Amino acid sequence: MSKSPRNRLIHILHDKALEEVISRHCQGKLIDIGCGTKPYQALLAPYITEHIGVDHQSTLHDKSNIDLFGTAYQIPADDDSFDSAICTAVLEHLEEPELALKECYRVLKPGGFAIYSVPFIWHLHEEPRDFYRFTKYGLKYLFEKVGFEIIEIKALSGFWVTFGQLFVYNLYRYNRSVIKWTHIIDGIGLLIQGIVYVLDKLDKTEQWTWMYIIIARKRESDEIHKS
Q: Give mean pLDDT, residues 181-201.
A: 91
H or E element at residue 201:
helix 182-202
Q: How far apart are CA 19 and CA 4, in angstroms?
A: 20
Residue 212 banded pLDDT, cuts 50, 70, 90: very high
Output DSSP code: residue 219: P
Residue 84 banded pLDDT, cuts 50, 70, 90: very high
- Count other Cβ atoms within 10 Å, centred on residue 105: 19
**pLDDT at position 178, please?**
46
**pLDDT at position 180, please?**
62
- Count other Cβ atoms within 10 Å, centred on residue 88: 21
The answer to whether 215 touches 25, Cβ cutoff 8 Å, is yes
Nearest 5°: the CA angle 2, 161, 207 is 115
Residue 222 banded pLDDT, cuts 50, 70, 90: low
Q: Give mean pLDDT, residues 164-188.
A: 80
Residue 227 banded pLDDT, cuts 50, 70, 90: low
Q: Give mean pLDDT, residues 34-39.
A: 94
- Burial of residue 164, with CB atoms counted within 10 A of its CB: 0-12 exposed, 13-18 middle, 19 or more buried: buried
pTM of the model: 0.92
Q: How far apart are CA 127 and CA 107, in angstroms?
A: 29
Q: How far apart are CA 158 and CA 135, in angstroms?
A: 14
**pLDDT at position 113, please?**
98
Residue 225 has pLDDT above 60, yes or no: no
Cβ-proximal residues to 128 (8 Å cutoff; 6+ apart), any chain:
none
pLDDT digits 0-9 by tens, 106-133: 999 999 999 999 999 999 999 999 999 9
Mean pLDDT of the chain: 93
Residue 4 banded pLDDT, cuts 50, 70, 90: confident
